[in-house]
Structure 1
Amino acid sequence: MNRLSDSEGSYWRETAALPSFPSLTEAAATDVAVIGAGIAGLSTAWELARAGLDVVVLEAGRLAGGVTGHTTGKLTALHPRAYDTLRTEHGDEAAGLYAASQSAALRRVVEVAEELGIDCALERRPALTYCRRPEGVAALRAEAEAARAAGLDASFVTETGLPFPVAGAVRVEDQAQFHPLAYLRGLVDDIVALGGRIHEGTRVVELDRGDPCRLGTDTGGSVSARHVVVATHHPVFDRTLLATRLSQHRDLVIAGPLPAPRDPDGMYITEEDGKRSVRTAPLPDGRRLLIVTGEAFRPGTGEDTEAGYARLRDWTERHFPDVTITHRWAAQDNSSTDTLPLIGRMPAGGGNVHVATGFAGWGMTGGVVAGSVIAALVRGEREPWAGLYAPGRLGPLLRSAPALLKEQWETGRHFVGDRLETFGDGTGGPVRDLRPGEGTVVRGRGGPCAVHRDDRGGLHAVSAVCTHLGCLVAFNNAERTWECPCHGSRFDVDGAVLQGPALSPLERRDPEES
């Protein structure tokens, strides 16, 4: 398989034909400024524009160029081990509200697609969480019972459409899958038709929580807004330290055409073997696009990502021998320490600033939930499940204290330990030993230095200190990016920000001084 960068590899981005919008270079005023043009940001902007509010959307890169553009496109209320955990840790009411909100989001996408006439390859399919090992059956039986109690049409089954036997599975009927960017294209067109303004290539670098709020950008433009929505995956401008309640992970994705008779006819996921997720999508020639996800890892830990892709490909070709792999990409997600997304008004003096984050890999329904919850709050209303997701919730936070402490220990370990490892025993490796396509972190004259050798032998050197909070980055050898293990910021080989919370690029360095 030829190496593909994540922006080149996403099937959704390749086939979406999204429009382009200019950067913001002037002063603007609006009712609501939405930072981030993924499904959470655009769903919120659309709900507000439909309610008659003036909306400005600011996107640092391209529309849906982050997490949303690299998803698997599942719309389901069945999430692995969610309901038994929710019932145990948060109670029956919380589990019921979660099921109701996620199901409402699925219905909302179906309704909006029909109302706007969006052709987004939406298909109704069952969703299944399965295990192949007998020791996993008891947990899945408990999950099926908890999901039923929460209001889902869930059952425990032992037969699936997968080309291999399973020990058991939780099955929920009438879920959905779609082309996420084709759907968002429809939202974007309607937002513009309703008078909304969208600006790409516009990174917000300053946020003044006044009345009105004021936003400064890296393109010279500014926005004055009564309300602000931070829908940037990781919460930038995070005065309340929500980031301490989030952990980051990336999943690898491969995809390729599969003969239609081999379609497993469903959306499948297991937490075994480093996670495996399977679904298909229709192709114009009548075949199906098989999409397989797995090999989850924490960004910035120096994982051999190419080896992960190889394992994922081997698994796919072993179970689906008729598939031809044509695409690969990777997606980044974050999870809160109490397992629930953080959606709503920023706590502790956030004022009219709202946030949507922590979707734990289920951002398609989670982003639509965020749109409805935040749009209601801006209008002075309240969704029945708003309290479940409120970022300032205290009870669940106290119950998740062990997970919170574990996450902060992991962050601290990287902040201190990576420096000792890299500079204490020289495990970063000398620059002269770098082969084309490789990267390493070394001690430079100006401090820690991240060096990459490109395919032509040229060296690219930048500071290895993440501009967010100062952790050391590590190299991702498949995507050829520098990644921070503490909060998931990502940079290209020349230091440009690919993914926040970092707002500033890594400082350029002279390769001769590294």
Structure 2
Amino acid sequence: MIEGIAQSYWMASSDPTSYPALTEPAEVDVAVVGGGIAGLATAWELARAGRAPVVLEADRIAAGVTGFTTGRLSAAHPWIYRPLRDSLGPDVARLYARSQQEAVERVERTARELGLDCDLERRPSHVYVESPDRVDALKTETEAVQEAGLPASFVTGTDLPYEVAGAMRVEDQLQFHPRRYLLGLAEDLVRRGGRVHERTRVVEVAEESGDRPHVLTTSDGVTVTAREVVIATLFPIIESALLSFRLTPLRELVIAAPIDADDDPGAMYITRQENTRSVRTAPYGDGRRLLLVTGESFSPGDDDVARHQRELVAWTREHFKVGDIEYWWSAQDLDTSDKIPYVGAVADRLYVATGYARSGMSHGIMSGRLLAGLITGDPPEWADLYDPRRAHPRREARPMLSAGMTNMRRFLEDRARVRSGSLDDIALGSGEVIRHGGRHCAAYRDEDGTPHVVSARCTHMACLVAFNATERVWECPCHGSRFAVDGSVLQGPATTDLAPVDP
């Protein structure tokens, strides 16, 4: 384990919430399932348009993936514009850029209109390479970004304390405190007639057609009827062959350490080299800034998260003048098979927002504008770009095949290598998937030696979970569901707990 508090800085530096759980059946116009950035942005846009949405959040709002991001809001997404231009045309790349830059402007304008204290700062954003053999490709990417309409330039010098071979710089991007921003949005949503219910996990969505409303059921058996439903739960909780094989989960680590203000690199930076490194700072008081470094992409269920932590900390100490690491956390996201999010309708009056490919801040704000526009009959000009029902065979065929083969191989290999064993063989404070009592079990022994045994089959699609020893949780490597050591759901798409097993 590394030093510091195992907690997101955004969570530690913002107020807790206490919106009531839904305890009685309800009939609503629009139900938004998920209280992260996409769900809250959608609900707020709808309330602003005169609708009265209801947000249903399984835990606490802005406390899931959104509460564990880096708060980097930029249209300068790494290595997306040239592929878009070359495969789908320059007009599509321009629409993508417009949708992302509008999200940047939307946050600044909203924060100022509502008077939100969310550490809003305009900063240039950089995509950089350290290898000289990647410079020509980055120059071509920069040209594509310029053609798409963003204020981009290729530079060889930055304010980073280490050399880079080249960087694409895009002006007037934004960094902020995402949780404070969203808590302010939720308060304004309620003032406008919307409702927020926390600790209200939706476990079933009965899809209807025609004029009949959808029926949602919570884990407590409370039903909600809604004419329109938005699913904004990272990986959608609805079963959809349209999405299941086009979404790939990944996780990244974040560490945060104070630095002197004089050592602030003054901008946002990201590279996909070195297994991803993303750098930004935030206000921290007393003449200091908080350096946030993100990286070490890995799949859920990776059995060596501690090594990724050590490598990220070592890299940070090598490149920046930091002392103690004060916070560390991990975040999860989803890649799509064509690198474009899925935002829009998947059925009659049923919408999703997912697949943000490590650019969740701008995509989440964009989703709010897009989904509210679809529901109110005023969709933005770039709505078709994100339609979940689209098909880009040339871009998607290979990633979809690779993802499907990986999950199938994992499905078979995991079962083949599970050992039969005794609970006593599991180290204290550790977990392992074993054959126990004739079935695959996820077994954890706490520090007192007490065993906690649950089914190892993820309740989403029956993949075997794996133990994350660093965070002490069970993770599904297929679609990213996470469970506590007692089997309770921490993160979907699973909506039900792992079944207990008699030890």
Structure-2-length-normalised TM-score: 0.97
> Aligned pair 1:268/2:269, yes or no?
yes
For 1:492 and 1:399, the matched residues in 2 are separated by 37
Structure 1 residue 477, shift from structure 2 partner: 1.2
Give the aligned partner of residue 421 of structure 1: 417
Q: 2:82 aligns with which of 71, 81, 84?
A: 84
Q: 1:479 aligns with which of 471, 475, 480?
A: 471
Tell me the alpha carbon deviations over residues 464-511 of structure 1, each in whole angstroms, 9 at most, x when there is no partner: 110011000001111111111111111011101111111110011233
Which structure 2 residues correspond to residues 13-412 of structure 1 after superposition, within 5 A? 13-210=11-208, 211-300=212-301, 302-346=302-346, 350-394=347-391, 396-397=392-393, 399-412=395-408
**CA displacement 1:272-330 (0-9 Å, x = unmatched):** 11111110000132310100011100102x33111111111111111113342110000
State how far apart, in whole Å, the 1-side matches of 2:4 and 2:259 are: 20
Amino acid at match of 2:309: Y
Higher mean C-alpha deviation, range 170-179 or range 321-330: 321-330
Q: Give the 3 Å change call, closer, same or farther, for CA 477–77 of structure 1 in structure 2.
A: same
* 1: CA distance, partners of 2:340 / 2:474: 28
Query: In structure 2, how many angstroms separate the alpha carbons of the residues matched to 1:49 and 1:275?
Result: 38
User: Any idea what SS the aligned residue of 2:285 has?
Assistant: coil
Note if contact 1:32-1:227 (Cα within 8 Å) is conserved in structure 2: yes
Quick one: percent identity of the two aligned structures?
51
Which residue identity does 2:233 align to in structure 1? T
Q: After superposition, what is the alpha-carbon deviation per residue over 1:65-88, rounded to whole angstroms, capped at 9, x for unaligned?
A: 211010000110011111112112
SS at the partner of 2:408? Answer: helix
Report the Cα distance in structure 2 between the residues aligned to 1:310 and 1:64, rounded to whole angstroms: 28
Shift of residue 54 of structure 1?
1.4
Rounded Cα–Cα distance in structure 2 between residues aligned with 1:35 and 1:3: 36
Cα separation, 2, equivalents of 1:443 and 1:233: 31
Contact 1:344 1:389 in 2 (8 A): yes
* Matched-pair contact (CA < 8 Å) for 1:67–1:331: yes
Letter in 2 for 1:340: I
1:311 alignment partner AA: E
Deviation at 1:197, TM superposition (A): 1.0
For the residues of structure 1 that align with 2:162 and 2:240, how far apart are their CA atoms?
49
Shift of 1:398: 5.2
- Range with bigger deviation, 216-225 or 385-394: 216-225
Q: Distance in 1 between matches of 2:138 and 2:303?
A: 30
Map Cα deviations across residues 238-262 of structure 1 (whole Å, 9 max, x no partner).
2343121001100011101111111
Structure 1, unaligned runs of 5 or more: none
Pair 433,240 (structure 1): closer, same or farther in 2 beyond 3 Å: closer
In structure 1, distance between residues paired with 2:429 and 2:138: 43
The answer for the alignment partner of 1:464 in structure 2 is 456
CA shift, 1:377, in A, is: 0.5
Does the residue aligned with 1:273 lie in a helix, a strand or coil? helix
Question: Secondary structure in 2 aligned to 1:53?
Answer: coil
Q: Distance in 1 between matches of 2:193 and 2:369?
A: 20
Find the residue that maps to 1:283 and give its secondary structure.
strand
Q: Which amino acid counterpart does residue 109 of structure 1 have in structure 2?
A: V
Contact 1:44 1:374 in 2 (8 A): yes
Report if aligned partners of 2:454, 2:487 keep a CA contact under 8 Å in 1: yes
Aligned residues of 1:23 and 1:219 also touching (Cα < 8 A): no
3-state secondary structure, aligned to 2:470: coil
CA contact (8 A) 1:4 1:479 kept: no
Distance between the aligned counterparts of 1:140 and 1:239, measured in 2? 36
1:434 alignment partner in structure 2: 426
1:112 partner SS: helix
Q: Determine the C-alpha separation between the residues in 2 that align with 1:444 and 1:131.
A: 49
SS in 1 for 2:372: helix
Whether contact under 8 Å (1:76, 1:102) holds in the other structure is: yes
The corresponding residue for 1:445 is: 437
Q: What SS class does the counterpart of residue 407 from structure 1 fall into?
A: helix
2-structure distance, mates of 1:410, 1:56: 38
Q: Which of 479, 493, 498 matches 2:485?
A: 493
- In the alignment, the residues of structure 2 paired with residue 416 and residue 312 of structure 1 have an alpha-carbon distance, to the nearest angstrom, of 32
Secondary structure of residue in 1 paired with 2:390: coil
Of the structure 1 ranges 85-94 and 33-42, higher mean CA displacement relative to structure 2 is found in: 85-94
SS in 2 for 1:308: helix
Q: Secondary structure at the match of 1:228?
A: strand
Offset from partner CA, 1:91-132 (integer Å, 9 cap, x none): 211111111000000000011001111110000001111111
Distance 1:397 1:3, change over 3 A: farther
Q: Secondary structure, in 3 states, of the residue corresponding to 1:452?
A: strand
* Alpha-carbon distance in structure 2 between the residues aligned to 1:324 and 1:4: 7
> C-alpha offsets along residues 332-370 of structure 1, whole Å, 9 cap, x if unaligned?
000110110000011xxx111000000001110100110
> What residue in structure 1 maps to residue 494 of structure 2?
502
**One-letter amino acid of the structure 1 residue matched with residue 333 of structure 2:** D
Distance 2:452 2:223 in 1: 33
Deviations 1:207-250 (A, max 9, x none): 12222111110123221111000000001112343121001100
- 8 Å contact 1:255–1:290 — kept in the other structure? yes
Q: Secondary structure at the residue paired with 1:279?
A: strand
Shift of 1:458: 2.5
What is the alpha-carbon distance in structure 2 between the residues aligned to residue 490 and residue 386 of structure 1? 31
Gaps of 5+ in 2: none
2-side partners of 1:485 and 1:508: how far apart?
Answer: 20
**TM-score, normalised relative to structure 1:** 0.95
Aligned mates of 2:144, 2:428 — CA distance in 1: 51
Q: State the SS of the aligned residue for 1:451.
A: strand
- Distance (Å, rounded) in 1 between the aligned partners of 2:303 and 2:93: 35
